[in-house]
Amino acid sequence: MTNNPLSNPSFSKLFAAQIIALVGTGLSTVALSLLAYDMAGGRAGTVLGIALAFKMVAYVFFAPIIGGIVHRISRKVFLISMDVLRAIIVLLMPFVSEIWHIYVLIFLLNLFSAGFKPVFQAVIPDILNNDEQYGKALAYSRVAYDLENILSPTLAGIGPFFLYL
């Protein structure tokens, strides 16, 4: 038995889903922020500040609540639901016509992300029995979050360049 958690098929699928969700959420947050900036004109600083405040409120106030109540439903169903809800938010982005729409979408996007993270971390010990694998899995997860913070804005910045080559 290898100590690499990626050798476990269940964890590999879960980790791949986490990476896809992180990149999607990161790109969506950047896109909504740029849209807010574009729509706000001279009030861009205020609008972006409020939008990012909504992002923090979703994480700080609601992640602990979600983590406390999620044990009442299937974790798998919950994780899939969070991803589907985030995908719906992305599909709603082309219909944004008011600044308050951006606030709502940023709040909801980050609310569903805030719900995903603690449940994802709670599922890992159910999948991996080995303490060493569990430690490595948490490290992989943390690296994925940190890389997303760097790569999402980078991809959002260079992505449009490649559309026009």
| pTM (2 d.p.) | 0.80
Tens-digit pLDDT profile for residues 10-48: 999 989 988 988 888 888 888 888 888 888 888 888 988
pLDDT value, residue 101: 92
Let me know if 91 is exposed, middle or buried by CB neighbors in 10 A (0-12, 13-18, 19+): exposed
What does the H/E/C string look like for the chain? Answer: CCCCHHHCHHHHHHHHHHHHHHHHHHHHHHHHHHHHHHHHHHHHHHHHHHHHHHHHHHHHHHHHHHHHHHHHCCHHHHHHHHHHHHHHHHHHHHHCCCHHHHHHHHHHHHHHHHHHHHHHHHHHHHHCCCHHHHHHHHHHHHHHHHHHHHHHHHHHHHHHHHHCC
Instruction: List, for residues 62-71, the tens digit of each pLDDT value.
Output: 888 887 788 7
Instruction: Give tens-digit pLDDT for 128-163.
Output: 888 888 889 989 999 998 888 888 888 877 766 665
**pLDDT score recorded for residue 36:** 83
